[in-house]
Amino acid sequence: MPEQEVDVKEMETNAGEAREGLNTAGLNTANLDVAGLDAAAEAAAIAQAGEETVPRAELEQAKAGLAQLKTERDQLVDRVARLQAEFENARKRAEREKAEYRDYAAGSIVEQFLPVLDNFELALKASGSVEQMRSGVELIVKQMEEVLRQMQVTAIPTVGEEFDPRVHEALGSVERDDLPDHHVAEEIRRGYKIRERLLRPAMVRVVSNPKQTAE
């Protein structure tokens, strides 16, 4: 390595300077173990030659480790890509199944109302009296209510019931003394709920009883 070469040269230089210094002092360098300095320089050179092979082995080991890391990285990237593809396929499949279920549910509901629609069309083609038309419409309404009942859709009670803002929507008040104050006097539009969930509130007018108000 370059740093080792510099050290060897410095040692040789130092050895030469040591000889000159001893000669200047009048000493005989032949009787001194100057060869020891040369041996040290030679040993450093040998060590340098041995150390040059160590980094190469470490470099090869590092290259092998890097190649292994790259292989593992490629495997992880491939696995992530496959997982993303599986997730995307699962998401599309869930959306498709959701749409199919929605269409199936809507189709089953519409199928129950088709007979009601058929009766409405027959009523429009009929040429009877007003009373006959009224009786026919009443029958159709009952048929529709039966379909709603099978779907667990029920009408919200109104007239005579205490006003409940959770299921009633007040459109005004009516002065009456035959019903308790703050009770429903008139139904404007019927409200419905399916099981316990409100579909739409009932539009009503609320009783304002002057006798109870005065009390």
Share of the chain above pLDDT 90, in %: 49
User: Distance between CA 100 and CA 106 in Å, rounded?
Assistant: 10
Sketch the domain layout of the chain as residue ranges: 2-74, 152-215
Q: What is the CATH number of domain 152-215?
A: 2.30.22.10
Read off the pLDDT of residues 155-206 as tens digits, 9 standing for 90 and up. Answer: 999 999 999 999 999 999 999 888 899 999 999 999 999 999 999 999 999 9
pLDDT at 159: 94
* Whether this model's pTM surpasses 0.75: no
* Other Cβ atoms closer than 10 A to 209: 20
* Antiparallel, parallel or unpaired: β 168-175 and 192-194: unpaired
Report the relative pairing of strands 184-189 and 202-208 from DSSP bridges: antiparallel
Instruction: Evaluate whether 211 touches 175 at the Cβ level (below 8 Å).
Output: no
pLDDT at 23: 53
φ, ψ of residue 161 in degrees (nearest 5): -85, 155
Strand order in the sheet with 192-194: 153-155, 192-194, 197-200
pLDDT tens digits, 75-117: 999 999 999 999 999 999 999 999 999 999 889 888 999 999 9
In whole angstroms, give the CA distance from residue 135 to residue 141.
Answer: 10
